[in-house]
């Protein structure tokens, strides 16, 4: 018989500490949908996604009801679209995004990721066509997410792509001006992108993946925060142990749900992504965990060290709880999606430079950060270059998801609603990086990429 | 297949009777019951066998929730595996 205390502690985690499965994401390969006729290719894409993911949402809901665990999102990731669309004889890739959007609506998922291109070493014609279509594609679709990989530890950083992405982000903001540039919330620029990430906006189904796969992303900042409240003032060894134990429990739940979903959908289980993914809800914040460790406000001195401990302990606790860990696995620090980060940014303690330092030790990068609408494209590109450099040199995934909301200035707030939250506009350095970005070319891979 | 029923709320007459009656109506066998008053709150944990239940666990959940609303207490049912996963290695 299970211990009554254990049972009640699980229920308290779900009821009061926002414990949930953040996402069940089905990865689907679209390589079989390539067709010289773009119209035919789009039909194949729609047909394949809706066939494979037909029962995804229903299955997620069934598991949620039987196990009493909230499963917040059901999502789909697909093969980077540039690889599929590249086979078609067309200049216009927007119809491919529309096909994804239609399929996502039919399946009832809340996002579909994979309007993507991998250009870390160079751009094919298809990659460039896809990238240039992003502003229109994101403006004309609702559920499509786009990601571009511009660098890797092995290949270096494609600075031509970095320069282009600065302009694309600005254009995407302009194309979705009526919604405060919401399109940019669905566009992420990566270095060292992973192929099995279940989280949006960066999810895509890598070419090394199987035909279809189930990946699950867990969450639980509130649970970790609650556990740390019980060890106030104790040494960091105790803090790390406490986080590990909590992460273990949370991940075991994710593993169970992933296996169950995989069995019911007759789809191979891929990975559990053991991430701490915050939401704008009170008590579901990563920033508040860092503050619980003894920082007055997230962003002050000590924040990077606190985050380093948290990120590492989450991995160590989670890795034994799952048969296969992957994705991004660590602590996310999206500003607009984290109540504590929003408060710290509004107060001015958390600034872009500190966030950049934090991305050296967190699971991804500069995420959901609102910057002034008149930020030059070159400055955005330079921010991407800095972030990609951190990823490239440290052999980790980094990413940039900036929101240059048209017409907004420092001190304004952009509201996106739901899980995307709200973001106070943060200042960027006014000094120009234009000549730096204008150089183009490629930043070579670091010495330690030569491991063979 | 086992599930765990948990009942939490203000103590009153007939909670156990009502929950047991509903489970019996649906052919759910009770394996174990433990009940305490925790910080003034009635707390009951039951292990039940739902193998031969007349309805799936998801529907039992709806029935129990409805009963909970009527009695102004929280009643839930969850498959046992979730607790095993989180608290057993």
Domain membership flag for residue A452: no
- Quote the pLDDT of residue A220: 86
Q: Provide, as residue numbers in chain B, all residues whose Cβ is less than 8 Å from the Cβ of A3.
A: 87
Give the pLDDT confidence of A316-359 residue by residue, as tens digits: 999 999 989 998 998 999 999 999 999 999 999 999 999 999 99
Same domain as A419, residue A294: yes
Note whether residue A445 is domain-resident: no
* Chain B residues closer than 8 Å to A7 by CB: 4, 6, 45, 83
Range of the domain at A173: 22-191
Q: Give the pLDDT confidence of A195-254 residue by residue, as tens digits.
A: 999 999 999 999 999 999 999 999 889 999 999 999 999 999 999 999 999 999 999 999
**In Å, what is the CA distance from A149 to each residue of A71, A204, A249, A380, B19?**
29, 11, 33, 15, 55
Candidates B28, B80, B86, B87: best to mutate against A (most CBs of A within 10 A) is: B86
pLDDT category at A174 given cuts 50, 70, 90 is very high
- Mapped onto helix, strand or coil, the DSSP state of residue B54 is coil
Q: Are residues A241 and A185 in the same domain?
A: no
Instruction: Please state the φ and ψ torsions of residue A109, each to the nearest 5 degrees.
Output: -80, 165
Report pLDDT digits (tens) over B26-40.
999 999 999 888 777
CATH number at residue A273: 3.20.70.20
How far does A7 lie from chain B, in Å, by closest CA?
Answer: 6
Please report the ipTM that was assigned to this predicted complex: 0.87
Is A370 inside a domain boundary?
yes
Determine the pLDDT at residue B54. 95
How confident is the model over B65-86, as a mean pLDDT? 93
User: What is the reported pLDDT for A3?
Assistant: 83
3-state SS assignment for residue A201: coil
Are residues A184 and A221 both part of a single domain? no
Residue A426 in any domain: the answer is yes
Are both A319 and A417 inside the same structural domain?
yes
Query: Is B3 in contact with B78 (CB distance < 8 Å)?
Result: yes
Residues A114 and A162 in one domain: yes
Give me the DSSP letters along A397-432. Answer: -EEEEEEE-TT--TT-EEEEEGGGEEEEPPP---S-
User: Measured between beta carbons, which residues in chain A are less than 8 angstroms from residue B86?
Assistant: 6, 10, 249, 252-253
Assess whether A287 and A187 both reside in one domain.
no
Question: Are A240 and A364 contained in the same domain?
Answer: yes
Q: Do B85 and A256 touch (CB under 8 A)?
A: yes
Based on the fold, state whether residues A246 and A379 are members of the same structural domain.
yes
Are A52 and A133 in a shared domain? yes
Q: A114 and A64 in one domain? A: yes
Q: Which of A283, A215, A220, A271 is nearest to A246 (CA)?
A: A220
Does B56 contact A66 at a Cβ distance shorter than 8 Å?
yes
Question: What's the mean pLDDT in A95-123?
Answer: 98
A175 and A241: one domain?
A: no
Interface contact A65-B61, CB threshold 8 A: yes
Percent of chain A topping pLDDT 70:
100
Domain stops at, among A174, A191, A208:
A191
Residue A1: what pLDDT? 58
Domain B2-87: give its CATH superfamily: ACT domain (3.30.70.260)
Average pLDDT over every residue of A5-13? 88
Instruction: For residue A446, give the nearest of A391, A397, A408, A401 by alpha carbon.
Output: A391
The answer as to whether A186 is a domain residue is yes
Measure CA A64 to chain center. 23
Check pLDDT > 90 for residue A314: yes
Residue A52 placed within a domain: yes
Percentage of residues of chain A with pLDDT beyond 90? 89
- For chain A, the domain total comes to 2
Domain boundaries, chain B: 2-87
Q: Which of A135, A156, A191 is the last residue of a domain?
A: A191
The answer to whether the CB atoms of B87 and A65 lie below 8 A apart is no
Residue A142 domain flag: yes
Cα angle: A273, vertex A447, A197; to 5 degrees = 15
Q: What angle do CA A260, A265, A266 make, to 5 degrees?
A: 95
Q: How close does chain B come to A3, measured CA to CA in Å?
A: 9
Same domain, A34 and A108: yes
CB contact under 8 A, B82 and A253: yes
| A199, part of any domain | no
- Say how many CB pairs under 8 Å bridge A and B: 65
pLDDT 10s digits, A110-126: 999 999 999 999 999 99
The reported pLDDT for the residue numbered B40 is: 78
CB contact under 8 A, B81 and A252: no
Per-chain mean pLDDT for chain B: 92
**Entry pTM:** 0.93
């Amino acid at each position: 018989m299970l211990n009554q205390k254990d049972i009640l502690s699980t229920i308290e985690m779900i009821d009061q500490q926002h414990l949930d499965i953040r996402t069940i994401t089905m990865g689907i390969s679209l390589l079989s949908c390539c067709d010289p006729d773009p119209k035919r290719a789009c039909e194949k894409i729609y047909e394949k996604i809706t066939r494979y993911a037909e029962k995804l949402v229903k299955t997620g809901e069934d598991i949620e009801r039987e196990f009493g665990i909230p499963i917040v999102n059901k999502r789909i990731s697909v093969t980077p679209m540039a690889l599929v669309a590249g086979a078609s004889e067309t200049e216009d890739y927007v119809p491919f995004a529309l096909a994804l959007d239609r399929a996502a609506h039919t399946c009832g998922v809340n996002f579909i990721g994979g309007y993507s291109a991998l250009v870390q070493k160079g751009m094919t014609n298809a990659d460039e066509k896809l990238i240039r279509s992003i502003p229109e594609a994101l403006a004309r679709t609702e559920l499509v997410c786009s990601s571009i990989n511009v660098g890797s530890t092995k290949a270096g950083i494609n600075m031509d792509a970095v320069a282009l992405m600065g302009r694309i982000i600005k254009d995407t903001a302009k194309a979705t001006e009526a919604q405060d540039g919401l399109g940019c919330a669905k566009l992420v620029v990566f270095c060292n992108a992973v192929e099995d990430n279940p989280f949006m906006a960066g999810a895509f189904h890598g070419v090394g993946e199987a035909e279809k796969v189930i990946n699950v992303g867990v969450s639980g900042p509130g649970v970790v925060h609650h556990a740390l409240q019980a060890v106030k003032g104790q040494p960091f060894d105790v803090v790390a142990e406490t986080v590990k134990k909590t992460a273990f429990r949370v991940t075991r739940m994710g593993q169970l749900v992933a296996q169950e979903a995989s069995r019911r959908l007759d789809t191979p289980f891929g990975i559990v992504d053991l991430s701490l993914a915050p939401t704008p809800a009170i008590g579901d914040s990563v920033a508040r965990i860092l503050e619980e460790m003894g920082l007055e406000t997230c962003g002050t001195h000590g924040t990077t060290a606190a985050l380093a401990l948290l990120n590492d302990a989450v991995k160590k606790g989670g890795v034994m709880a799952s048969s296969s860990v992957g994705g991004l696995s660590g602590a996310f620090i999206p500003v607009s999606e984290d109540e504590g980060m929003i408060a710290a940014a509004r107060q001015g303690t958390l600034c872009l430079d500190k966030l950049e330092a934090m991305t050296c030790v967190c699971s991804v990068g500069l995420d959901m950060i609102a910057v002034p609408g008149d930020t030059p494209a070159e400055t955005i590109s330079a921010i991407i270059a800095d972030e990609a450099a951190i990823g490239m040199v440290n052999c980790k995934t980094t990413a940039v998801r900036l929101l240059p909301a048209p017409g907004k200035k420092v001190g304004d707030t952009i509201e996106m609603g739901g899980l995307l939250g709200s973001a106070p506009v943060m200042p960027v350095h006014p000094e120009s990086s234009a000549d730096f970005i204008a150089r183009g070319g490629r930043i070579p891979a670091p010495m330690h990429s030569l491991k063979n | 297949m086992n599930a765990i029923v948990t009942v939490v709320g203000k103590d009153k007459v007939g909670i156990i009777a009502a929950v047991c009656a509903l489970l019996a109506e649906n052919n759910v066998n009770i394996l174990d019951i433990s009940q305490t008053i925790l910080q003034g709150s009635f707390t009951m944990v039951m292990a039940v066998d739902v193998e031969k239940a007349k309805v799936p666990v998801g529907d039992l959940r709806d029935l129990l929730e409805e009963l909970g609303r009527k009695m102004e207490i929280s009643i839930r049912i969850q498959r046992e595996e979730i607790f095993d996963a989180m608290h057993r290695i």
